[in-house]
Each structure stands twice: as C-alpha cells, then as structure tokens.
Structure 1
Amino acid sequence: MEKKNKLGVALVGLGKYATGELIPSLQITQNCYLAGLVSGSEEKKLKYQQEFGLKDESLYSYDDFDRIADNPDIDIVYVVLPNFMHAEYCIRAARAGKHVICEKPLAMNVDECYRVAEAVRQANVRFSMGYRLHFDPFNQEMMRLGQKEVFGPVKKLELLDSMDIGTETPWRVDRERAGGGPLVNNGIYCIQAAIYITGKLPVAVEARFAPVTNPDRFSEVEEGVIWTMFFEDGVTAHCETSYSKNQNLMRAEGSEGWFELNPAYEYKGLVGRTSSGAMDIEPVKQQARQMDDFARCIIENTETRVPIEMGIRDMQIIEAVYASARAGDRVELHLEAFENLPEY
C-alpha cells in the first residue's frame, strides 16, 4: 500500500457535531483531510460536496456504506452517529478495511464494546476513541499537575458536567437510541477526568439517581446521576451529571494546593486556575489536534493514547455507576490496566 502524507477522513453522520466542529477542524488539520461523507440527507451531502469539492464516489448513504471499502481516498471512518448506531458502523467500517474513530460512548453496553474490539482485531485496523480532551492543552495541564503531584498527591476531585437540554435532541432521552441519559453523554467526561488526573483506575463506585423534576421528559433515561469514584489510598472523585442544569467544573485538591478548570469540558473558552495563580495556556482547536494525532499514529505506526480499551473501560465504569444507583449500594470494580494509559 502506498504510504500517504495525509489521510482521508469520511464522516459518518452529519449532525451538529460533525458539521459544526469536525468539518471546520478538517480544514486546518495537517495530517488528514475531509475525503467523504455518509448521511441519509442528500441535501446535506450536496451542500458540503459543493463547498469542499468532494468526489461523487465519496458520498454514501447508510444503505450503500459498505462500498466505502473500494474507495482508496478514504483511510479513516469517523462514526458520529446516535449511540445505538456506534457498534454497527464501527464494525462495518473495520470490515471495510478502514481505520476507525468513534465518538463516545463506544457502544450501548460492554458486550457491544467487545464485539467492536473483536471486529477491529480481525480486520487488523487501528481504532481511536473520539476523546478530544486528551489533546486539549488545558486538560493536559490538569493531567500533568495531578500525575506529577505538583501540588502534592491528589486527595479529592470534584467533577461536574451537566447541560440543560431543554426540548432539543429528543434521541438523547430515548433509551433505545441513547442507551442512557447524561451519564453516557456528559458524565463520561467526569470518569475520564478522574482517571487522567490521578493516573489511576478506580476500585469502586457509589451512586444515586438525582430526583426527577420532569417525569414526562425523563421517563426512559435518568435526569441526573450523582456518584463517587473511590481510588486506592483514600482518594475520592465526587461527580455529578444532569440534563436539567448547567455545570462545567474540574477541580483537584492536593495535599499542598489545588488546580481547576471552569469551564472544563467545552470545545473552547476553557479557563484554568491553581492555588498559585492562573494557567497561562494558548487554546487550540481540540478536534483538529485529535484527528491529526490519530492520522500521525497511523502514518508513523505508533499507538494512540485513546485506544479502544479506554472506551471499553469507561463503559464498564458507566455500567457499574448505573448498577450502584439502582441497587443503592457500593459496587466494586475490577478493571484491567492497559499499556496506553496516558501519562503527562
């Protein structure tokens, strides 16, 4: 196979995130570029084809998606679909011989995650989770401060990621399409942050569902979840996620000081402070960095820092949080460490 300097990316799904964040990011990436679109909307495909000069043969519907295997211009398939479609299109992309990026969560449950992992293994392609914050310099600084114990060992974390969804995105409150509520959409960032700030895996969780204030709106998925993640040496991460309030805090308290981001999880506008003063960090386009890094990993034959194992691990924790909230009791975790746990 001819070695390329830049890899072609096909976006599967043309919702708000793909059109508002990924397509603009692919105009500034250095290692990859927009090469294809998959959508059920002919209007959307035509709009972006005309805007970016895409070939007719690089436009696909969901029905004819599998012919993407015959397109040498497309190296990476980025799955940006409602959660219930993640596993199917990751598996089909892998079987088509394409490298895969998948938005969070990896799948609807752990069993589906393992099905995706097996398809990726059999196809011998590379896989990356769409965890953009691993490539954001503010979040990387939180990783460095925590893992290097700049303010002493981290003792306590407060991680809040919520958004008031109002009446928008009805699929997110549909259990069959979303798999869960704010925990799988926003709370997954809290889980991520707890692990990448401490550099450790949790050993247990204890959770409860938040009171339901709108039973008609939240009849199928939770309105909110409040939970604690327990680590060795008594370290705790207190977390909350909700679809009926706005929160955006990542705070770590060490034995000799504190550090935080607020906002912490947004695409832009992040602000960092520590007990020693403000963080002086230049913002970046997170998604451009994320996609460039994966393309570089493919080109240079190196490992991504956000591999499929990380997506599986996070789904295991999510299922434990749900189990704890339903049972009203602590749930022990038995997570397997893996070589690619990022360090900064």
Structure 2
Amino acid sequence: MRKPEATRRQFLQATGLTAAAAFAGARIAAQPQLPGPPAKKLGFAVVGLGSLAINQILPAFAHCRHAKATALVSGDAAKAKSLATTYGVPESGLYSYETYDRLKDNADVDIVYVVLPNSMHPEYTVRAHKAGKHVLCEKPMANTPQDCEAMIAAAKAAGKKLMIGYRLRYEPNNMAMIKMAREQEFGKPKVILCEAGFSIGDPKQWRLKKALAGGGSLMDIGIYALNAARYLSGEEPVAINAISYTTPGDVRFADGVEETINFQLRFPSGVLANCVSSYGVGLNRFRVHAEKASFELEPALSYSDLRMRVLRGGTVELRSLPERNQFALEMDHMAECVQGNAEPRTPGEEGLKDLRAMMAIYEAARSSKTVTLNA
C-alpha cells in the first residue's frame, strides 16, 4: 500500500523540479543582452596644425567611433602642447618635423593624417609609410601626377593603406546624389554643373604661393567641382576645354596662381559637365540635369547645412538627410579599412586621377585647345 504513496511523492518532486528549472530558464532567457566591449579605436597622428586641423579635424575626433588622436606633429611646440592638453594627446605623442620619423616607434599611432601644404604631401606621406604607418592625406594629393605615383608606390612597398581626404565622398547628401545619378532615379543624366569658389583673403597665405599650392583656385577649391563631376557621372573625362582669368593687379595673385577657371568635361557616355572654380566669388552648388528632372545640392561642399532639392515639372521637392560630421566619417572609414584590411573608397589612385585631369585643365586653358584623355 505504500508504493503508490512513494510514487506520488516522486512524481511531485520531479514535476516541481521541472517547473523550477523551466522558470529559471525563462528568467535567464529574459535577461537583457549586455553590450560587448567598445570597438578598439585606432590612433591618428595629425601632421600640420593649421586652421583645418584646429577648426575641423581635431574637434571631429569627438564624433568618431573608430578613431582617436594620439599624436601631433608641428613646427610650433607651444601650439602643439596646448592642443594636446585640449584633446588628451599625451606629451609622448608630440613631435616636430625634425623628429617626425620617430613615429615609427610609437605603437599608439596606426595612421598618419597629413594636413600640410600641397607640396609637402609627398615627402611626409612617403616618410610615414617608411615608418610603417598607414596614411590619410588631404586633397589635393600632390602638385604633380609623378608625385602621386611615388606616394602610391611607397604605400605598396610598405604594405600600408593610402587614402585621400575627399570628405564629401563620405557625406550623406553627396552619397545620396551619387545613388540618384547612378541608379537613374530620374532617367539618364545629361548635363552636370559643378561650382566651387570663395573670395580668398590674406595674400601671404601658402595657398597663394605657387610652389606650395601647385596652382590657384583649381588646386584648392576647384578640385571639389572636378571630383564631383567625376563621381556624379561615374566616369572619367575623355575631353577637356578650359579658360581662366585673373584680375590684373590683384596682390593676392601676384605669385602667378589663377583666380578663376572655367572648364568643361566630356565623358564617354556623352554626359557633359560645366564646372567653375574661383578665388574671387562664392560658389557652392552641384546640379545634375537628367531626362525627367534635375537634382542639386546648394550648399554642396560646406562643412554643414547642406541642402538637397529635386526640380521637376515646375515644382521643387526638398529632401532632408541627417547631418553627420564629414571628417569623423572620413577618419572612421580609414580606421575601418585598416581594421578590416579593405580598400578605402578614395585611395591614392583617386587622387592621381584628379591630378591628371587638373593638369589637362591647365593645359587646355593655356593652349585654348581641347585636350583629350584616355577613358
């Protein structure tokens, strides 16, 4: 008679344990997933502490997910020390141009960001690669195609990444325009208009010294118009015409750099681009005229507050995208490419293509003849 009692007790114990186990399992399953450790940020050495580095690049690290400032290189020790204090760069990460090559021994520096006058880009890029570092170099890549080729060769010899700082290639509105053009949202693009310019100030600045800048407005601001025409068309120009003008007697252009240059590009598909670059007037618009509508950015190349419009049938449609820090996007992309061993969106070869096109633009302006290029 006791056997059924024991069986019932065993059954209750077994089912109780099962229920408890199920309840415990439910509690475990309901626990929120804890976030993993933050992604490792790669260290950047910023070389050249001029206005771009101070006002744009260094503040942008606060918006980066994969990049941080770990070293500064400058000829002004007091300036470098002050900025290092502001941005948390250790004193061991401060270098002069004479001690630049010691970056090789700094394990906290993964990537060197060259933010120097154009003519200095090749030397400091090559030296950084020889020090075993990846390089992000400001645009324009250099003053000549030959220098660009030497920089690309140095990167390959070192087995390191070389990326050119085309910030607009990472900016959401410009990326959206590329998608609209490439996917032919409004039919085939037919005409592209790209305008980039501003009224330049201090005549003593390096941008107005031909040996340092390599040219005038085209090298500095016009490269945005050229690069936009290339990335909006998705092609390389095969024919170029150009005309330039510089106000006589303007002290800003005494060293022989051009003030304004207009240039036209013909692409293999038949797309024509009309572009203008100027140091004498404010210009800030990219527009694509397609078969069914036109779409534009104005401002197109500012650091913030870009505005996109679609124009069709007498109506204007505004398109709004979240604003992102362009330099943070650019530096994070470089860091991710290094971490994932991927090719940057704007590698050295991209900079070389612009330099070859700019040399053709200058030749077309000098000769008043059409210059042809290989597609």
Higher helix share: 2
> Are the counterparts in 1 of residues 139 and 164 from structure 2 also a CA contact under 8 Å?
yes
CA shift, 1:213, in A, is 4.4
Matched, 1:236 2:276: no
> What CA distance in whole angstroms lies between the structure 2 residues aligned with 1:22 and 1:216?
30
Matched, 1:245 2:285: no
Q: 1:1-344 counterparts in 2 under 5 A?
A: 5-167=40-202, 170-219=205-254, 220-275=256-311, 277-335=317-375
Question: Bigger radius of gyration, 1 or 2?
Answer: 2
3-state SS of 1:233 partner? coil
3-state SS of 1:111 partner? helix
Residues 101-142 of structure 1: per-residue CA shift (max 9 Å, x gap): 000111110111111111111111101110110110110111
Identity percentage of aligned residues:
37
Given the two structures, how large is their TM-score scaled by the length of structure 1? 0.94
Change over 3 Å in CA distance of 1:46–1:21 after alignment to 2: same
CA shift, 1:233, in A, is 3.3
CA shift, 1:279, in A, is 1.1
> Are the counterparts in 1 of residues 58 and 87 from structure 2 also a CA contact under 8 Å?
no
CA shift, 1:191, in A, is 1.1
CA shift, 1:254, in A, is 0.2
> What CA distance in whole angstroms lies between the structure 2 residues aligned with 1:261 and 1:214?
34
Given the two structures, how large is their TM-score scaled by the length of structure 2? 0.86
CA shift, 1:78, in A, is 0.1
> What CA distance in whole angstroms lies between the structure 1 residues aligned with 2:161 and 2:268?
32
> What CA distance in whole angstroms lies between the structure 2 residues aligned with 1:51 and 1:6?
19
Between 1:51-60 and 1:97-106, the stretch displaced more is 51-60
Between 1:41-50 and 1:235-244, the stretch displaced more is 41-50
Residues 69-97 of structure 1: per-residue CA shift (max 9 Å, x gap): 00000000000001111111000011000
> What CA distance in whole angstroms lies between the structure 2 residues aligned with 1:69 and 1:214?
48
> Are the counterparts in 1 of residues 203 and 251 from structure 2 also a CA contact under 8 Å?
no
Letter in structure 1 aligned against 2:347 = P
| Counterpart residue number, 1:338 | none
CA shift, 1:188, in A, is 0.7
CA shift, 1:218, in A, is 1.3
Unaligned runs of 5+ in 1: 336-344
